[in-house]
Structure 1
Amino acid sequence: MFGQLKASLGIGAAKVDTVLDSMSYMQGDTLNGTVHIQGGDVDQQVDAINLKLCTEVKVEGEEGTSYQNFTLGTLQAVQPFTIHAGENKQVPFQFKLDPETPITSLNTVNNQCHVWLETSLDIDFAIDPKDRDFFEINPLPVVANLISSIENSGFAMVKADVEKGYLNGGNFSSKSGCYQEIEFRNSGMINKKEIELSFILEMNTVHCLAEVDRSLSFRGDQYISFSLDRNASHSDILSAVNQILSV
């Protein structure tokens, strides 16, 4: 009885550790990994292994800007079971990434984009053991090539973050409840310009919404949206970049 009481307070309780097969993925990939559960000093009933795909989003409000954790997807790995004292249990899993999972491997000092997998054991009347594993999301080749083309046109990536809300590109829209913005600036004095890009993956199509701000323009922010095949040619990518730069 005393052992159960200590376990409910997290003393001598079961521990959880999730190990991913890889620490680097692309949007739309499937995570593969194993949840390792180490039994504590007493037997404990585990009602579920809960996995959450998370990111951090920026929230604009009347009192200013704040940041909060945001869940992009969930997975319940197993049915209820008992983890016996001292037992080591391994549970393999697969977790399909949300297609709107933000890119994290971006070449900018002000990169506020993070993605992680949070694992918890659902144990009644106890502090749920938890584990958090950060991993990298790389851009799809078509996105990486488009970003490189923007940078080769004289723009530097200066910031990337994830906003809470929905994105509307005219013939496409986001669904997850958050969207990523990747910001670029050029160094021109006369033709100074800022570009913000947001990408949405839908099956084999990559949608893009570009917001363009010219510092000396009286037209305000201008928007352009387009879609590219996941295997778009270099000429198609350059054509899309030219659309953005011509705004």
Structure 2
Amino acid sequence: MFGQLKASLGIGAAQVDTVLDSVSYIQGDTLQGSVNIQGGDVAQQVDAINLKLCTEVKIEGDSGTRYQPFVLGTLEAVQPFTIEAGAIKQVPFQFKLDPETPITALKARKNQCHVWLETSLDIDFAIDPKDRDFVEIKPLPVVAKLISAIESSGFTMTKADVEKGYLNGGSFSSKSGCYQEIEFINNSLLNKKEIELSFILDADTVHCLAEVDRAMSFRGDQYISFSLHKDANDAEIRSALTQILSV
């Protein structure tokens, strides 16, 4: 009885550790790994293993800017079971990345983009054991080529973050409740320009919404939306780049 009481307070309770096959993935990949559970001092009923794919979103309000965790997707790994005292249980899993999972592998001066997998054990009348594992999300080759082309055109990636809300590109829109913005600025005095890119992966298609702000223009922000196949060739990428730079 005393052992159960201690376990409910987290003392001598079961422990959870998620081990991923890799810590680096590409947009659209599937996370693979296993949840390792180490039994504590007493047997405990585990109602579920809950996995959450999370990022951090920026929220701007009257009181300023704040950041808060945002759940992109969830996965319940197993049915209820009992983990005996001192026992070890390993549960393999696969977790498909949400199509709108932000890219984190960016060389921005200020990169506020983070993605992690949060694992918790659902145990009645107890502090749920938790584990957090950060993962690197790399851009698809077509996205990486477009970013590289913009940088080769005299722009520097200055900031990347994730905004709370929805993106509307006209012929496409976001669904997750958050969207990433990758910001570039050039160093031209006469044609100073700021570009913000947001990407949405849709099966084999990558949608992009570009927001362009020209310092010397009275037209305000201009928006360009386009779509590229994930295997788009260099000519198609140059065409997309031309649309952005011509604004």
How far apart, CA to CA, are the structure 2 residues paired with 1:41 and 1:197? 52
Residue 13 of structure 2 is matched in structure 1 by 13
Deviation at 1:200, TM superposition (A): 0.3
Residue 103 of structure 2 is matched in structure 1 by 103
Whether 2:218 is the aligned partner of 1:218: answer: yes
Whether 2:165 is the aligned partner of 1:165: answer: yes
1:73-101 Cα shifts (integer Å, max 9, x gaps): 00000000000000010000000110000
Task: Give matches, 1:140-219, under 5 Å.
Answer: 140-219=140-219
Report the number of matched residues. 247
Deviation at 1:20, TM superposition (A): 0.2
Letter in 2 for 1:175: K
1:51-90 Cα shifts (integer Å, max 9, x gaps): 0000000012222211110000000000000000000100
- SS of the aligned residue for 2:127 comes to coil
- SS of the aligned residue for 1:226 comes to strand
Residue 89 of structure 1 is matched in structure 2 by 89
Whether 2:57 is the aligned partner of 1:57: answer: yes
Deviation at 1:109, TM superposition (A): 2.6
Q: TM-score, length-normalised on structure 1?
A: 0.99
Residue 113 of structure 2 is matched in structure 1 by 113
- SS of the aligned residue for 1:244 comes to helix
- SS of the aligned residue for 2:7 comes to helix
Letter in 1 for 2:74: T
How far apart, CA to CA, are the structure 1 residues paired with 2:143 and 2:173? 18
- SS of the aligned residue for 2:111 comes to coil
User: 5+ unaligned residues in a row in structure 1: which ranges?
Assistant: none
Deviation at 1:9, TM superposition (A): 0.3
User: 5+ unaligned residues in a row in structure 2: which ranges?
Assistant: none
- SS of the aligned residue for 1:124 comes to coil
1:114-148 Cα shifts (integer Å, max 9, x gaps): 00000000000000000000010000000000000
- SS of the aligned residue for 1:216 comes to coil
- SS of the aligned residue for 2:223 comes to strand
How far apart, CA to CA, are the structure 1 residues paired with 2:125 and 2:82? 15
What fraction of aligned residue pairs are identical, expressed as a percent?
80
Q: Quote the RMSD (CA, aligned, Å).
A: 0.5
Q: TM-score, length-normalised on structure 2?
A: 0.99
Deviation at 1:28, TM superposition (A): 1.1
- SS of the aligned residue for 1:167 comes to coil
How far apart, CA to CA, are the structure 2 residues paired with 1:27 and 1:230? 11
